[in-house]
Amino acid sequence: MSALEMKVFAGNANPLLAKEICENLGMPLGSATVNRFPDGETFVQINENIRGCDVYVVQPTCAPANDRIMELLIMIDAMRRASAARITAVIPFFGYARQDRKDKPRVPITAKLVANLLTAAGAHRVLTVDLHAQQIQGFFDIPVDHLYASPVFYAHIRNKPWLKEATVFSPDVGGLKYAAAVADMLNLPYGFVAKRRTSATTVQATSLVGEVEGRDIILVDDMTETAGTLVAAASLLKKNGARTVRALVSHCMIQEIAYERLGNGSIDEVITTNSVPIETRGLPITVLSIAPLLADAMRRIHGNSSVTDLFPIKGH
């Protein structure tokens, strides 16, 4: 183990996850004040001594993303100025990850900007889960430990009776590599749905490639907000003879429109994680905890041991 004392703190994005991580680590959550001044500015104070400590701050940058990012940056700055020996930003969901390239003229690469801000604030390393684009790891000039939610999903579904006649599907061509890796882990066939986006919130699924008729379909995706892609894919799969359709989604930042869409019955179950706070609202949404996975990784980082064997899927 590291000679440094380990301490874990949380911003306001997902304090329940941070508390569960601490329960898995067998330690209390560190005391910090993170609130707002009347004009909306963020105020942070670390309420205990962290001089020379190995400090972890748990803060997914989910909605409202800008507020969560500022909280995280200010917490890191406060920790650096309080003489923490090492600061790890634990970001279960990394916001702005979809802005990872210039796909139009005169647009920013915001994921790179956020990486620069975290480094400038004083973070020494980052721990995250299922980045939307793997190349984002290269945007950082500090170490990034990238975990996958797949072992959590695998533990949950491996003994389900519907897994025997299942096909793994990507809801779009871009996720085919991930779907292939999950299918390989489960020893199942895989396929994908071709789609056409008609607006920021509307998607039209057009065609299918893969075994569908009489199969139990497992849609895999890293994130969803409006559930448009998932519901369009599920509807097309059901029309083509799918027996059931379940979705494995690492990060569910679902908006009001998503609850309406998920209530139409085309998706039999959404299986997701608690990387961000989520309400099930009586819908068939199963929330699995990634706290043990994150706690194990944090324990390994603190002890300067390998995190690699937490990755059951190679190359996804």
What are the structural domains of the chain?
6-148+291-309 (3.40.50.2020), 151-288 (3.40.50.2020)
In terms of pLDDT, which residue wins out, 288 or 177? 288
Enclosing H/E stretch for 154:
helix 150-157
The pLDDT tens digits of the residues spanning 9-63 come to 999 999 999 999 999 999 999 999 999 999 999 999 999 999 999 999 999 999 9
Q: What local confidence, expressed as pLDDT, does residue 173 receive?
A: 83
* Residue 29: strand, helix, or coil: coil
> Residue 66 half-sphere exposure, CB side, CA atoms within 13 Å?
2
Looking at 146-160, 199-213, 262-276, which range is the least confident one?
199-213
Could you say which of 19, 102, 160, 195 is catalytic?
Answer: 195
* Confidence at residue 269, expressed as pLDDT on a 0 to 100 scale: 97
For the ranges 74-83, 173-182, 294-303, the lowest mean pLDDT is seen at 173-182
Whole-angstrom CA distances from 226 to 173, 175, 203 are 19, 17, 10
What value does the mean pLDDT of the chain take?
93
pLDDT of res. 295: 98
Per-residue pLDDT tens for 210-241?
Answer: 999 999 999 999 999 999 989 999 999 999 99
CA gap 141, 93 in Å, rounded: 19
For residue 195, indicate whether it is catalytic: yes
Whether 244 and 217 have beta carbons less than 8 Å apart is answered as yes
Q: Report pLDDT for 315.
A: 45
For 15, 40, 148, 250, 290, the CA distances from 8, given in Å and listed in that order, are 11, 26, 21, 23, 16
What pLDDT is stored for residue 205 in this prediction?
62
Please say if the pLDDT value at position 313 is more than 60. Answer: no
pTM of the full structure:
0.93
d(CA 7, CA 21): 11
